[in-house]
Amino acid sequence: MATAKTAAPRGEARGASARPRGGARGVLGRIADRYLLIVYTLLAVIYLLLPVFVIILFSFNNPPGRSNFLWSGFTLKYWLNPFGVSGLPEAVALSLEIAFLSTLISTILGTLVAIALERYRFRGRAPINALIFLPMATPEIIMGASLLTLFVAIGAAPFFPLNFVTILIAHVMFNISYVVVTVRARLAGFPRHLEEAAADLYANEWETFRRVTFPLILPGVVAGALLAFSLSIDDFVITNFSAGKTQTFPMFIYAKAKIGIPVQVNVIGTIIFLVAVGAVFVTTLASRRSNKR
Amino acid sequence: MGTLLKRHRWIAPVALLSPGVLWLLVFYLYPAVQMLQSSFWSGSLETGFTFSFDNYTNYTKALASYAPMYGRSIMYAGAATVLTFLIAYPLAYTIAFRGGRFKNVLLFLVVAPFFTSFLLRTISWTILLSDDSPILRVIHMLPGVSPEFRLLATPIAVISGITYAFLPFMTLPVYVAVEKIDFRLVEAARDLYAGPWRPGGAIVGFVVGGGLATVLGVAFEWDFLITGIVGGIVGAGVGWFFISESFVRVTFPLSVPGVFAGSLLTFIPAIGDYINAELLGNPDTTMIGNVIQNKFLTQNDYPAASALSFMLMAGVLVVVAIYARILGTEELSASAGRI
């Protein structure tokens, strides 16, 4: 680790190599200096992506039995029939439904909170900041477990027995903070004079918000929504505590982990990966284009 | 409406805040209070629960039986935090200072694992670390490794699983902190004759390299004294040549907030994690998360489970409070938001 020595291929900094540096180093040292960190970074990236590669590779596997654990030949048959396992299509549909709904609710609630915290000075900001921050700093198992004790203590519908509603409540709960933080980051660098200009041109508060503020914070809102969606669709721990007998896609994977995971799960996992990568790609392109304008 | 809003300036913020804040009060904060209450319950799901302060024995019993699991969780999460720091710092540093036009691509690759399911990634590690995997075959070819050596279902697998799972949580805050550093400060340090950091770099390198190699030696059942010394010498060499004074006195101090935020964001999810211990470990690697999950969802022993969770939460809150004191919550949530 810790290799700050002469990091310098930054324009004029390159001339720095002429300065005395205490102890001469040969060609070997310079090569190591220039390439060591690059090689290290490539290794780290390979390490990070190795499991992703395995997930994709094993979606083409053709295992003889139920467990998709050993490589035993290439096949496309699971890609042609990705929902051919009982319970899987329902679980994926439920996950998508919860992800959409919880993203919608948490994005609205979170954006409003972000605007209030960034735009207004009032007493009680500190405790509210803490309340927003704490869910991000609490282990998931504790949030899941404490929600479960609440639902059990109420012990009546619609909270108990656990169902779709309780999962949704939990997902909105852990998503709000992430939306708030993402939207606030966008609001913090916000050109206030545009709003003042709108007010000077006789726009009322609502018109100013709709035609000036909202379009400008929209990238932050979209980023927050994407984050919320990806957190929701992948959540296992909290969902496991608030789902009861209802089964989401991660819970389906967990249930099958002990008895052998169907190859189709890898196919769906790969599709989700590709869609997410595509979404990031599209939003990056879109924000680049709007920056150019 | 406009005049109403202007006359009562508090209406707008309250209206904006209340839905979100209420949701968190009711479904985040209140359940924590509820959990404290249920930790003083006795009874069962069938007979119903009764509250009494006499049931503080839930805590003493829980501590008596599960203290080792708390200890193990702290140890595993701590080890994983140190490892993520060692892996993530050079990575974040390189992306920030040498990424050039590949900066965004590299950042994207760092977060790309998040686009696949957390469970599927952990299951991938069970495939990669299993006895028949190519990785194990290579390790078995190394000299001095016993043929019985395995990785899956060992503490090493659990710690490396946790390290892998939360590596981006460390990388991103460190990256954000390093990226903000004004590089002219580093140049100024060099102009003021900041050279290699000697002998400090060698000492730090020796300790880190030696420590890592010793742990590896123990894990692979080699002579850990020899591996430790070899690792220490390699580390000292790297430290001697590559750690500069400008890094120690300018870059690193300026990146400390990122390191703090990153270690908090790694340690907290790591200490509550039970998926890695369950899928990659064995019965002797049980962490406190496994116990809580099992008591809540399989045994329906809510009182004991609540007591266990509450103690974990209290511990985490102490850590968070210390960090918030040093760092402020705004900085912490800002780095959390970038993930």
Q: What percent of chain A has pLDDT over 70?
A: 88
Q: Residue A139 has what pLDDT?
A: 93
Identify each DSSP E strand in chain B by its residue range: 41-44, 48-51
For A22-59, how does the pLDDT look when each residue is reduced to its tens digit (9 = 90+)?
444 556 666 666 788 889 999 999 999 999 999 999 99
CB contact under 8 A, B168 and A277: no
Question: Do B175 and B260 share a structural domain?
Answer: yes
Among A186-195, A214-223, B328-337, the range scoring the smallest mean pLDDT is: B328-337
The pLDDT confidence band at residue A19, using thresholds 50, 70 and 90, is very low
B90 cis-preceded (ω within 30 degrees of 0): no
Question: Do B223 and B163 share a structural domain?
Answer: no
Among A43, A122, A136, which would you mutate to test the B interface (most chain B Cβ atoms within 10 Å of its Cβ)?
A136
DSSP state of A45: H
What is d(CA B84, CA A16) in angstroms, rounded to the nearest whole number? Answer: 32
* Inter-residue contact B288 to B308 (CB < 8 Å): yes
How long, in residues, is chain B?
Answer: 339
Q: Residue A32 has what pLDDT?
A: 66
CA atoms within 13 A on the CB side of B166: 34
Span A142-147, mean pLDDT?
A: 93
Q: Residue A27 has what pLDDT?
A: 67
Residue A229 corresponds to which tokens in the numbers above?
């969606």
Nearest CA distance, A100 vs chain B (angstrom):
16
**pLDDT tens by residue, chain B, 339 residues:** 556 666 677 788 888 999 999 999 999 999 998 899 889 988 877 777 888 888 888 899 888 999 999 999 999 999 999 999 999 999 999 999 888 888 889 999 999 999 999 999 999 999 999 988 888 888 888 877 888 888 899 999 999 999 999 999 999 999 988 988 888 888 888 888 888 888 888 899 999 998 888 888 887 777 888 888 999 999 988 888 888 888 888 889 989 988 998 999 899 999 999 999 999 999 999 999 999 999 998 888 889 999 999 999 999 999 888 887 887 666 656 555 544
Largest CA distance in chain B: 82
Query: pTM of this prediction?
Result: 0.87
Task: Answer whether residue B86 is part of any domain.
Answer: yes
DSSP assignments along B195-255, one per residue: -B-TTHHHHHHHHHHHHHHHHHHHHTTS-HHHHHHHHHHHHHHHHHHH-BHHIIIIIHHHH
Question: Do B217 and B179 share a structural domain?
Answer: no
Task: Answer whether residue B52 is part of any domain.
Answer: no
Q: Domain residues for B214?
A: 196-243
Nearest CA distance, A56 vs chain B (angstrom):
10
Task: Answer whether residue B41 is part of any domain.
Answer: no
The verdict on A236 touching B (C-beta cutoff 8 Å) is yes
User: In sequence order, what are the residues at sequence separation of 6 or more whose Cβ sits closer than 8 angstroms to the Cβ of residue B331?
Assistant: B257, B261
Mean pLDDT over each residue of chain A, to the nearest integer: 85
Task: Answer whether residue B19 is part of any domain.
Answer: no
> What are the structural domain ranges in chain A?
21-80, 88-261
Question: Do B337 and B206 share a structural domain?
Answer: no
The verdict on A140 touching B (C-beta cutoff 8 Å) is yes
Q: Residue B330 has what pLDDT?
A: 60
Assigned architecture for domain A88-261: Orthogonal Bundle (1.10)
CB contact under 8 A, B89 and A1: yes
What is d(CA A194, CA A217) in angstroms, rounded to the nearest whole number? Answer: 13
Q: Of A134 and B241, which is predicted with more confidence?
A: A134
Cα angle for residues A261, A265, A268 (degrees, 5° grid): 175
Q: Residue A202 has what pLDDT?
A: 84
Question: Do B113 and B87 share a structural domain?
Answer: yes
Alpha-carbon dihedral angle through residues A62, A64, A70, A71, given to the nearest 10 degrees: -30
Nearest CA distance, B329 vs chain A (angstrom):
7
Q: What is the count of residue pairs from A and B with beta carbons less than 8 Å apart?
A: 322
Q: Of A116 and A203, which is predicted with more confidence?
A: A116
Task: Answer whether residue B6 is part of any domain.
Answer: no
Nearest CA distance, A15 vs chain B (angstrom):
10
Question: Do B329 and B213 share a structural domain?
Answer: no
Which residue of chain B is at minimal alpha-carbon distance from A252?
B119
Question: Do B169 and B114 share a structural domain?
Answer: yes
CATH code of residue B320 = 1.10.3720.10
Nearest CA distance, B146 vs chain A (angstrom):
23
DSSP state of A135: G
Task: Answer whether residue B29 is part of any domain.
Answer: no
Q: First and final CA of chain B: distance in angstroms?
A: 39
What is d(CA B29, CA B10) in angstroms, rounded to the nearest whole number? Answer: 24
CB contact under 8 A, A2 and B109: no
Q: Residue A15 has what pLDDT?
A: 39
Among B8, B10, B27, B259, which would you mutate to test the A interface (most chain A Cβ atoms within 10 Å of its Cβ)?
B27
What is d(CA B202, CA B207) in angstroms, rounded to the nearest whole number? Answer: 9
Q: Residue B270 has what pLDDT?
A: 95
The pLDDT confidence band at residue A20, using thresholds 50, 70 and 90, is very low
Domain boundary among B208, B243, B278: B243
Question: Do B88 and B169 share a structural domain?
Answer: yes
Question: Do B169 and B134 share a structural domain?
Answer: yes
Question: Do B222 and B165 share a structural domain?
Answer: no
The verdict on A26 touching B (C-beta cutoff 8 Å) is no
What is d(CA A56, CA A263) in angstroms, rounded to the nearest whole number? Answer: 10
Residue whose C-alpha is closest to residue B154's, from B336, B17, B317, B277: B277
Beta bridge partners of B244: B196
Question: Do B322 and B236 share a structural domain?
Answer: no
User: What phi and psi values does residue B251 have, to the nearest 5 degrees?
Assistant: -60, -55
Question: Do B227 and B79 share a structural domain?
Answer: no
Task: Answer whether residue B91 is part of any domain.
Answer: yes
Task: Answer whether residue B264 is part of any domain.
Answer: yes
Q: Of B72 and A258, which is predicted with more confidence?
A: B72
Alpha-helical regions (H) of A120-154: 125-133, 140-154
CB contact under 8 A, B120 and A55: yes
Residue A4 has pLDDT above 60, yes or no: no
Q: Residue A176 has what pLDDT?
A: 96
Span A66-79, mean pLDDT?
A: 88
Q: Count of domains in chain B?
A: 2
Nearest by CB to B31, from A41, A150, A236: name it: A150
For A76-104, how does the pLDDT look when each residue is reduced to its tens digit (9 = 90+)?
999 998 998 889 999 999 999 999 999 99
